[in-house]
Amino acid sequence: MNLLGVLPLAVVMIAGPQIIAAIFLASSRDPKRSSLAFLTGAGLAMLVALTAWYVVFHLVRVAGSGHDRHDGTRRAIDWVVLLVLLALMVRVFVRRKRTQPPKWMGRLQQAKPRYAFGLGFLLFIAMPSDQANMLAVAASLAGHDKPWWHLLPFLFLTLLLLALPLLALLAFGQRAAAALPKIRNWANDHSWVVSEAVILIFIAIVGSQMV
């Protein structure tokens, strides 16, 4: 598994409450400070979780040293990744009809930076789907002996995608502010389809390397 292979999963990371929250914050009373605090919290949560999962699977990989055991350990890690991705697909499909944003999102219009930071951290550290996603990415890279820093482009791409509402607001001003609610509604209704497609692509990549 190479670095480019895991990057598409950044789309899955932000599909759902994560991008919806980012859109709400971009149209809040203090969009710049609140959005930056949200991104900081999300980035910190991802850095902690990705590093933890990478260390776990790197230790598993090291424990399976020796040529035959090395290949067996790598294949076992690939199977773990496949099972996690399949479970993630099922979860995304089961939750596809939950199109109404949680009630707490209404608070985001008045959110202060401290609240936005905590929300960003919790959304990425406590969401089972994001943990499964980060497990799959870290396991794929650690299982194929890629260095830790290969996690960083995935982290930065996820944050870039999460920052798109703020970047649109900064670039286009009121036109973006008027369009954000429509984008939010579309993402709320269709993000699960995008997530399923990306997960399927990643499953195909992992499966092709196991043949």
Query: Low-confidence residues of the chain, pLDDT below 50?
Result: none
Q: Read off the pTM.
A: 0.83
Which pLDDT value is given to residue 1? 56
Residue 180 near residue 30 (C-beta atoms within 8 A): no
The alpha carbon dihedral of 117, 121, 127, 129 has a sign of: positive
**Residue 76: its pLDDT value, please?**
83
* Contact partners, residue 176, CB within 8 Å, separation at least 6: 26, 165, 168, 169
Express each pLDDT in 94-147 by its tens digit: 877 665 555 666 667 677 889 899 999 998 998 888 898 999 999 999 988 899
What's residue 100's pLDDT? 57
Percent of residues, the chain, with pLDDT higher than 70: 82
**pLDDT of the residue at 153:** 94
Instruction: Return d(Cα 97, Cα 94) in angstroms, integer.
Output: 8
**Helices 113-126 and 128-143: angle between axes, nearest 10 degrees:** 60
Query: In angstroms, rounded to a whole number, what is the distance separating the alpha carbons of residues 46 and 13?
Result: 10
Separation between Cα atoms, residue 64 and residue 76, nearest integer Å:
10
Angle at the Cα of 28 from the Cα atoms of 34 and 46, rounded to 5 degrees: 35
Per-residue pLDDT at 6: 82
